[in-house]
Each structure stands twice: as structure tokens, then as C-alpha cells.
Structure 1
């Protein structure tokens, strides 16, 4: 079966899946998982596949009626808008002729390298929205998921069959963020129960419970990259704080940002942090050696919105050195900023329209993007699709690939380090592992 038609059939089943056994979510998940398995095992010819797709569409519509429109075509039609030239400063990649880097991956096109079409596995261990997912650092197989149900799960996605290695329980309210330590021995989780928990990955036990001093909801967390004994957190009082893993306490230093701090990211050495809130503001914060935090620069988006995701990327290749910040916002925007100085100042480079008005949708840079001409990012969307965008292109040409398989808003996205697998999570609690078409 051709991978493209297979993906269309799977997307069709996913759109109708909400109508099946409304009182039994586990049955619906089992059904869609089995459908994916049957599609992978099918040996139909391309012509037979197309005929099968038409017939199945007719039968499903006859049985359930027309499913709610995902408006995917509308999103694609307005998928990319470039800022005026005065705000774009030309190419995002400093040198377009990235010959040395392209040679490392055989010179394939971006469309070839991001042909993620096959469904590798579907996880359904969470009963409520999975708000964030993250592969371990430099690891192909271990994936951590966190959910509104208050639980974390660790999955082995490359075992046969893929399995849930552990469910980590302890938080009493929704989990808002997770992060792996540099060597993957620890996981930190933040929650609306006003705590952060540090988990030992080797035996899945909770090592530390650290309470917010003001009992504020903790809405995001990351490890300090150069010192994994320190954690950075943002809370519902607009406070950026540092917690010490060894002592189990927050440090006295507080950086007042304002609003609800919804997301954090850091440069590679942890000197500059960026924090986004529900007022459409992005602050750059300098982190001193003694743990002090100092605001340096601020960017305010043009319309009131929430900043739901921040992702930092320093280019790897010799041909491209400028670091970038990728931003999701609830004004139907995915934005790319260039980091222009040592204080973390931001300059807008690209803006893409993406269906997002309510939910905590996230995006990420593709891990080895700077080994090719051009650059690619992937984002979730409230229309249930996953979009791959070439940030060097404009208009509809920027959409490199579109994955359809979720029947609800896609919240989380994460690559493993070699780009062989992509994980996505949604508002219904499903986690889909996608594989490249040539794997």
C-alpha cells in the first residue's frame, strides 16, 4: 500500500472514531490501533488503495453522517505569511549554499527527509489531555508524557511491541510541564498542585517534592542546562524562580515577570532564559552564576494572546550560526525570532498562521535541520493536524508535509534525536508515534 493513501485512510478512520462506542474510549483506541496495524500489513496496489478509500468514505458517511470539519484545507490555504521585508531581513539561514552540511545527509530534499507518514504505535495510557511529551536527550526510544490526569508515563517506543515502562503517580492536580536532565537520570515535573517533583528514572521513584513558597500553581519547569542541580520554574503569580534539587527548596531570588508564566526555554549554557506569559509577552532573563535572575529585554506581540510554547535552537553547521526562538501563540500564529545579542534580544523573522486560539499547542525545531539547505519546524494545531514547515519558504510552499490522524487538537510534539520517530499528543489523551515513510 502506498504510504500517502495509507495515511489518508488512517486520517479518515480517526475523524470518524469519536462516533464509535461513545461510552467506551478504550474500545475506540483499540479499534483505531488495530486499523493502523491492518493498514501496515495490507498488500493492496495503489489503484486498489484509492478505490478502497472511496468505498470506505462512502460507508462511514452512510453509517455516521459527515464528521465535523477539521478545516484543515482552510488552514493550509493560509498556512504561511511572511512579515514585510523591513521586518524579515531576507534569508533565515545565513548561507543558502550549505554544501558541506547537505553532503552529510546525501543531499536529499526537505520533503524527502520529512516524509513522516507511517503510524508506528498508538499509546492510550492517559485518560485526559496529554499536554506535553518529550524524548530523552540523545535517545531513540524513551518518551515521557504528562497529562491533565495528574500522571506521568515513560514509554519505550522501540521495543517489540512498544510498551509503557512506568506510570508515575503523585501529583494531585494537572501536570503542566516536564523536562529530562542532561544525562537522562532525572525527570522534573511541574503541576497546578503548587509543587515540582523530581523523579529517579532508574527505579521510577520520587526523589524530591518542592513546594512553591506562595502556594502558586507551577505552570512550567526546565533544568538549568549547565547545572542540573538547579530547576527553573514559572508560576501563576508571574514569578520566575530557581529551586535547588539537593536541598529541596526554592532560592530567595525571584524575577517578577507578570501574568501567568506558561513556558520557559534556555540557551545551551543556561546564561539566557526566555519566559512567555498569558499577556503575549516574551521576556529574556539573564541567569547569573550565583543564581540571580535579571530581566533584560521584552517583546510584546501585537494582539492579546498567550505564549504557549518556546523552543530555542542554535544552528550546528558552519554555514549557519544565528540562534533562533520558535514561538506558539493563541492568536493563530507560529513565529520565528532571531536572537540578536548577548542579552537575548529578539527580532521577528517569520510568521506562519496556525490554527490556535484556546489550547497549549507546542512546536519544535527538527533536530538535524541545519545539516540541510533550508530548515524545518513541526507544530501541532487545533485542527487536529501536524504541520511540517520549511521556514525558508513563504506562502503555501512552506508546508512540507501534513499528518492527519488525531481527532482532536494536537498539543505536544517531540522528535527523537535522529529524526527517525516523531511523537504527537492530543486533547483526547492519545499519543501517536509516527515513523518515516522509508523506515
Structure 2
């Protein structure tokens, strides 16, 4: 104890305690290790060689590894608008341009027959359903195909005749129509839409979507901004192209709409449906009030037949309906919309085909197709008919067309031929072997009367002059 006391008693309590000092280590004793602050990865690949057998971190392996292979380019999505040519009239041949600038009446006296092949238009990969000339830009022809495309052709261009291709539809295109408002095309197809396209700008300006296949479209006779559409579910809609919205809906539990026709200066319209979900004799033909969305009469046609086509007479207050009873029925287009039981056009055969009929421009003649391949031309006043036969239908939706002067009637045929008939004598004036497969549609030019275009089930389009 004494030793311990002596050892700790060397320092007096009165003496000041020495201050603590940090011990300094000699070089033999290493200092305390400090963790380095993290540094960013090197920007460039390290070129120093590594010692064999040493540890290599994942980051170093990534830097030393080969450059990863680039990903393959994605499959290009086809553009909805391609412009292989030009729609400008400046590319048109001078002689054709002079004819287009002249009036149609200057050519109606020319009794010429279309027989010379003027242009071959190839581009569709499937059948062509319809063709239509532009009345405002008469050098352009539009075609609607089963290949989901619409082609616009600059028919007499000195360079590329295919002016542009429209791929806006997602299914087969059933019909195409030029608008009176410039370079606008209205089309409908099996993708449950009607589409309005500005061909000059290559833009789809409006899409009118429905929950049904759109089968029929009709522009208002006095306002091209409004059109009717009817479809497979029996729904009828009135659209405004300026807003892209439905103005009116016309619903009555109908079957598929077959045809639509405006009457009474666009204040009323007629609808024809296939199979009614209630009573076919009550709803086969209905007269509607456009603004009130109500049927004015649903007992217009009391016979048990459907009518695939309705047409308004250009002058008289009557309309006709193509009946599957193998005749064309006549109705008054004013209340009470009576069926003329004492006058009808019969002799042609329907056999369930969607046979169409059409009045001549002067309203004196009524033309109708037939399932036996004939075209019947009836005298509206005398109820007499002439018969145009020679071409063959064979179940194809063959169409026909009158020339501007009304002196010739053209029709396609299932054997690929175009038949030209004389309006007065009903004799075959010319038979043109045009296509390898069925000739579906024919269309006379709106200005040059001796020019006719045709399209075929094989996807080809021909122009004769």
C-alpha cells in the first residue's frame, strides 16, 4: 500500500494538471485508416493490364468488356399518305388539258365510241370495288380497293400516274366519293368508319366512327357538309363534317340498311332495310323527318320483299324502289306516300342480288339491272321497256353507267368485258375485252363524253377514249 501511495502522491493536488496532448506516432506505427470519398467512374476505358489472378470488379469487367451489339432497326410503319406523283393539272398533256378546260356541251355532238386504251393504272393488290371521277378536278380519278387503300390517279399525267395512296382505312374500302369542295374524298369501308381526307394536304380531316359496318353514305343535296350513313346494325346517322359529330340519330330496331335517299329538298329521307327485327311489311321502306328524327310513314311498302335500292325521280314527285319481287315499285314522294298498284316495271330478275336502278337525267327513262345479266330500260311515261343483254353478271356486283348525252349505256361483265349499248336501239355498239377477271365498275368522264374508266376484280383500272 505504501508503494502505491508513493507512486500516486508525486503530484500535488495544488499543482495544475497538464493538458492532454494528441499522441504522435512514429513511422513504425501506421496512422488510423480513413475511408476515401467515392469517386465517379472513369470516363474512358482503362488501358492498364490487370494482374493475372487478381480480383476484377463488375464495374471493371463492364468497362473492359466488348461494346454491346446495336439493336435491330424497328419494322417501319407504312405511312397513311404516300405521294409518288402529283395531283397538279400542270402535268397533264396539253391536248387533254384543252378538253378539260372546255365545256361539256362542246363535245356532246361528237358521236365517238370509247375503244382506244388511253391509260393503264396499276397499283392495287386486290380487287377494286369502286371508281369515281372528280367533277371539280376532272383529271383525277379515285379508286377504292379490297387492299384497304384508296388510290388517286392523275390519269393523263406525263410522269407518274399514281398521284397518291391513302392508307387511312384498316379494312376493305367499299366506296369512295369526291366532294364538291375541292380535293376532299369521302370514303367508307368495313372498318366501321367513314373518313374525309384532304388529298391536297395529305391529311385525314375527319373520322366518323360507328359500331357497325358502314354500308351507305349519302350527301345532302343542298349542303355537302352534311351526309347520312347507314350500316349493318340498322343505325342511321346524320353527320356534320365540320364538327365530326352526329347531328341526328334515327333508330327503330331495323335490320341492315340497304339504301338511303333524300327527298323534299333534303327535309326528308327514305330508308330501306334488309330484314326488320319486327314486321318486315312495316319497316321495309320508311320515310323520315330529318330534323325531328321521327318516321313520317313506316307502312309505305306492305309486300313481303326487301328493296335494295331507292331512287328519287329528278323532276316528278315520285320515287322508285327496286324490289326483290323482281319488279320496280313506284311511290309518291309526298304524303301519304302511296304505292302505285297499277303501274310497275317488271321483266328483270333480282334473285336476291342487290340490283340497283337509276333514272336518266331527263327523268324519262328508268334503268335497272337483272340477275340474268341483262339491263332493262323502261319508259317512265308509257311503262314500256327495252332490254339490254349480252353481258354476264355471275353473282358479281356489276355496275353500269350512262354517258353524259344519254345516248350510250356502259356495263361491266363477269368475263372482264365492257359492253356499250345504244340507248335508242338497245343494241350492242361495242364490246371491249378489258380485264382478265370480272369488270366491276364503269364510269363515264364528267366532261369528256367519249372517255370511260373501268375497274376489275383483278385490281386493274383502265381508261378508254
Moved more, 228-237 or 420-429: 228-237
Please name the residue that 2:375 is paired with: 334
C-alpha distance in 1 between matches for 2:263 and 2:359: 6
Q: Deviations over 1:178-197 (max 9, x none)?
A: 11112343211011111100
Q: Deviations over 1:142-177 (max 9, x none)?
A: 100000111101111121145111101111111111
C-alpha distance in 2 between matches for 1:348 and 1:211: 45
Report if aligned partners of 1:264, 1:275 keep a CA contact under 8 Å in 2: yes
Structure 1 position 352 matched with structure 2 position 353: no
Give the 3 Å change call, closer, same or farther, for CA 208–156 of structure 1 in structure 2. Answer: same
Residue in structure 2 matching 1:416, options 441, 445, 460:
445
Alignment of 1:119-138 (within 5 A): 119-138=117-136
Structure 1 position 305 matched with structure 2 position 334: no
1:384 deviates by: 0.9
Give the 3 Å change call, closer, same or farther, for CA 107–430 of structure 1 in structure 2. Answer: closer
Please name the residue that 1:434 is paired with: 464
Report if aligned partners of 1:188, 1:221 keep a CA contact under 8 Å in 2: no
Please name the residue that 1:33 is paired with: none
Give the 3 Å change call, closer, same or farther, for CA 386–157 of structure 1 in structure 2. Answer: same
Q: Deviations over 1:24-74 (max 9, x none)?
A: xxxxxxxxxxxxxxxxxxxxxxxxxxxxxxxxxxxxxxxxxxxxxxxxxxx
C-alpha distance in 2 between matches for 1:331 and 1:153: 32
Report if aligned partners of 1:179, 1:221 keep a CA contact under 8 Å in 2: no
Give the 3 Å change call, closer, same or farther, for CA 335–227 of structure 1 in structure 2. Answer: farther
C-alpha distance in 2 between matches for 1:197 and 1:127: 21
Report if aligned partners of 2:147, 2:172 keep a CA contact under 8 Å in 1: yes
Normalised to the residue count of structure 1, the TM-score between the two structures is 0.60
C-alpha distance in 2 between matches for 1:329 and 1:274: 23
Between 1 and 2, higher relative CO (CA 8 Å, sep ≥ 6) is seen in 1
Structure 1 position 382 matched with structure 2 position 411: no
Normalised to the residue count of structure 2, the TM-score between the two structures is 0.57
C-alpha distance in 1 between matches for 2:180 and 2:156: 21
1:263 deviates by: 5.5
Please name the residue that 1:399 is paired with: 428
Please name the residue that 1:425 is paired with: 455
Please name the residue that 1:160 is paired with: 158
Please name the residue that 2:172 is paired with: 174
Report if aligned partners of 1:377, 1:390 keep a CA contact under 8 Å in 2: yes
C-alpha distance in 1 between matches for 2:253 and 2:136: 32
1:126 deviates by: 0.6
Residue in structure 1 matching 2:183, options 152, 161, 185:
185
C-alpha distance in 2 between matches for 1:210 and 1:273: 20
C-alpha distance in 1 between matches for 2:194 and 2:215: 10
Please name the residue that 1:372 is paired with: none
C-alpha distance in 1 between matches for 2:145 and 2:372: 24
Give the 3 Å change call, closer, same or farther, for CA 357–198 of structure 1 in structure 2. Answer: same
Give the 3 Å change call, closer, same or farther, for CA 105–228 of structure 1 in structure 2. Answer: closer
Alignment of 1:15-94 (within 5 A): none
Give the 3 Å change call, closer, same or farther, for CA 168–360 of structure 1 in structure 2. Answer: same
SS at match of 2:226: strand
Report if aligned partners of 2:441, 2:454 keep a CA contact under 8 Å in 1: yes
Structure 2 unaligned spans of 5+: 1-104, 276-280, 302-320, 327-349
C-alpha distance in 2 between matches for 1:324 and 1:267: 19
C-alpha distance in 1 between matches for 2:463 and 2:421: 19
Superposition RMSD on alpha carbons, in Å? 3.6
Report if aligned partners of 1:262, 1:308 keep a CA contact under 8 Å in 2: no
Structure 1 unaligned spans of 5+: 1-102, 316-321, 341-345, 370-374
C-alpha distance in 1 between matches for 2:268 and 2:388: 25
Higher helix share: 1
C-alpha distance in 2 between matches for 1:257 and 1:310: 27
